[in-house]
Amino acid sequence: MITALGGGSGAAKFLKGLTGVISPSELTVIVNTADDMDIYGIRVSPDIDTIIYRLSENIDEKKGWGLRGDTFEFLRAATRFGFPAWFGLGDRDLATHLFRKSIIDGGGTLSESTASIAQRFGIGEIRILPMSNDWIETWVETDAGEMHFQEYYIKYSMRPTVHGVNIKGTLEASPAPLVLESIDGADILIICPSNPIISIGPILKIKGVRERLINASGLKVAISPLMRGKPLKGPADKLMKGIGMEASSTQVAKLYADFLDVLIIDRSDEREKAAIEALGISVLVTDTVIPDDQSSERLSREILHFIESLDRTSNK
């Protein structure tokens, strides 16, 4: 059994490849919900939907989010009434959010709505869990003021200089049902190639999650999202530098060092291998760029083979 933690397009791409080399029923995904926000009278859950759309082969490949072939008539009409148009909510995507809202308004939870949406998209065999059913949001302190992460990322295109990151609501939040049990029961735990500050960081702040990872019997593996200090997409480097961190795979290793067994890094970061191993973490150096499903499956196989080699060595 494999439990993965992640959020964003990098996690979605990796998980799609992983489901090509293991049975989907063996996979549980704990998804970041701190990117969620209220807009147009509904609460959107971008990371959950991106993972569901990718795993069900409905993703807009060009954008890396949203539904393939979606239209934006609602968004164009909304601008007539002064609603913001910077958040690209498609017409069919809107149906997903309205369905989620109907479940929650009826007394259901984010966990229940997520499971139901996954079922409607034909991937109910994969267990997809929000990290929490409670309100949590990521806000970014910038030289243009404090703003929701979605505003920083989409509306302002990551242009403002970052001075801090606040994950609001984590102190009061509880893990969603089955989150801790999925960590305890996993043979392998994988930290996806996701932003360590705003995709993985919020999950680790949920009560009990980090402690369960530290004590979990399964092997704990992470994939660095950085190459030469830069992500392929997103603001990981900007956020890390903004809160006083070095943007490097070594810094990623340090963020997870209290529980991590293995870090996967790109060949471009091979020079960091020794520094990461000095933290007591094994390192696999390979090509971590996954532009398509075939590349993602290849990376997944390499990771599983590397884990098997570690098991054989430990058994000796």
Q: Give domain limits for the chain.
A: 179-315
Amino acid 315: pLDDT:
47
Task: Give the per-residue pLDDT at 249.
Answer: 97
pLDDT digits 0-9 by tens, 78-116: 999 998 889 989 999 999 999 999 999 999 999 999 999
By the 10 Å C-beta count (0-12 exposed, 13-18 middle, 19+ buried), 56 is classed as middle
The tokens of 252 are what? 């990623």
Distance CA 59, CA 249 (A): 28
Q: Flag the least confident range among 52-56, 247-251, 310-314.
A: 310-314
Distance CA 117, CA 97 (A): 10
Residue 310: per-residue pLDDT: 85
Quick check: 8 pLDDT over 60? Answer: yes
Please state, for a pLDDT cut of 90, what percent of the chain lies above it: 92
Residues 18-37, mean pLDDT to the nearest whole number: 96
Note if the pTM is more than 0.75.
Answer: yes
Across residues 27-54, what is the average pLDDT? Answer: 96
Is residue 32 a contact partner of residue 170, using CB atoms and an 8 Å limit? no
Q: Is a pLDDT exceeding 50 seen at residue 316?
A: no
Q: Is 80 exceeded by the pLDDT of residue 313?
A: no
Report the chain's mean pLDDT, rounded to a whole number.
Answer: 95
End-to-end CA distance of the chain: 24
Residue in the block written with tokens 């958040």 = 87
- Residue 56 pLDDT > 60: yes
Residue range 179-315 forms a domain whose CATH class is alpha beta
pLDDT for res 149: 97
Inter-axis angle of helices 8-18 and 46-55, nearest 10: 30
Q: What is the pLDDT of residue 280?
A: 97
**For range 197-212, the mean pLDDT:** 97
pLDDT reported for residue 232: 87
* pLDDT per position as a tens digit, 132-150: 999 999 999 999 999 999 9
